[in-house]
Chain A
Amino acid sequence: SAVISQKPSRDICQRGTSLTIQCQVDSQVTMMFWYRQQPGQSLTLIATANQGSEATYESGFVIDKFPISRPNLTFSTLTVSNMSPEDSSIYLCSVEWTQPKNIQYFGAGTRLSVL
């Protein structure tokens, strides 16, 4: 299995600012994903981040609001830009592990509150 570290674990931010969340994996992985979990709701996929290519965003999510970097096979960042209170959520990264095929492992998440 993969060990995934997310930083920060939580943060309180002011409206209009930006926060960058880091996701570090202890092994090289091809596919990494970023999810959002709004209060009381389930997880929604924001984007898929593959090394060496632009992130692929799901419907309703745009690069200007959620820019993603994937500089190598063990690291990715998600930035939440120009934040508003509606961005208050838990943000989670996940990785796809190849054995068993397609199983996904998740980080502990970043709990973001926007005032």
Chain B
Amino acid sequence: KQEVTQIPAALSVPEGENLVLNCSFTDSAIYNLQWFRQDPGKGLTSLLLIQSSQREQTSGRLNASLDKSSGRSTLYIAASQPGDSATYLCAAGRSGSRLTFGEGTQLTVNP
């Protein structure tokens, strides 16, 4: 059974700092790895999708990497802003397009 773990559970940084969120998964036979953002009381916003054959994906200030052999993915956020404050979730894709989610990292960026 796939298990996804995210470290740290919470992170507070000053504005402008570069930061890394970590995601690990126990079963390396994933189809893809997806990062989401969840704002309080809201649904999920897809940030980046890395296919199992890819090593990384970039979108603006966000860069996600994937190392299947070690069961790890990281989300790098450059020059963080207060608007980046949210909970970040990673999800491992398995057969049938089903996702297994981690517990999330709650990020606070202080002005």
- Give the size of the chain A interface in residues (CB under 8 angstroms): 26
Which residues of the partner chain B approach A115 to less than 8 Å between Cβ atoms? none
Does A19 interact with chain B (Cβ within 8 Å)?
no
Can you list 15 residue pairs at the A/B interface with Cβ under 8 Å? A6-B43, A33-B98, A42-B101, A42-B104, A48-B96, A92-B44, A94-B44, A94-B99, A101-B51, A102-B32, A102-B49, A106-B36, A106-B43, A109-B42, A111-B41
Does A108 interact with chain B (Cβ within 8 Å)?
yes
Contact yes or no, A108 B49, CB < 8 A: no
Does A74 interact with chain B (Cβ within 8 Å)?
no
Alpha-carbon distance A78/B32, docked complex (angstroms): 26
Which residue of B has the minimal Cβ distance to A50? B96
Give the most central of B44, B89, B103: most A CB within 10 Å: B44
Interface residues of B, dominant DSSP: strand
* Nearest CB of chain A from residue B106's CB, rounded to whole Å: 11
Give the most central of A6, A94, A104, A111: most B CB within 10 Å: A104
Does B69 interact with chain A (Cβ within 8 Å)?
no
B residues contacting A by CB (< 8 A) are 31-32, 34, 36, 41-46, 49, 51, 89, 91, 93, 96-104
Contact with B along A1-23 (1 / 0, CB 8 A): 00010100000000000000000
| 5 residue pairs, one from A and one from B, having the closest CB atoms | A106-B44, A108-B43, A42-B101, A43-B101, A106-B43
* Nearest CB of chain A from residue B98's CB, rounded to whole Å: 5
* Nearest CB of chain A from residue B107's CB, rounded to whole Å: 15
Residue in A42, A102, A108 whose beta carbon sits within 8 Å of that of B31 in the complex: A102
Which residues of the partner chain A approach B89 to less than 8 Å between Cβ atoms? 42-43
- CB within 8 Å for A108 and B42 given contacts A42-B102, A45-B98, A103-B34: yes
Contact yes or no, B97 A104, CB < 8 A: yes
Give the most central of B36, B97, B102: most A CB within 10 Å: B97
Which residues of the partner chain B approach A111 to less than 8 Å between Cβ atoms? 41
Alpha-carbon distance A101/B32, docked complex (angstroms): 10
* Additional pairs, 4, CB under 8 Å, beyond known A48-B98, A111-B41: A45-B100, A56-B96, A92-B43, A101-B51
- CB within 8 Å for A104 and B99 given contacts A42-B89, A42-B104, A43-B89: yes
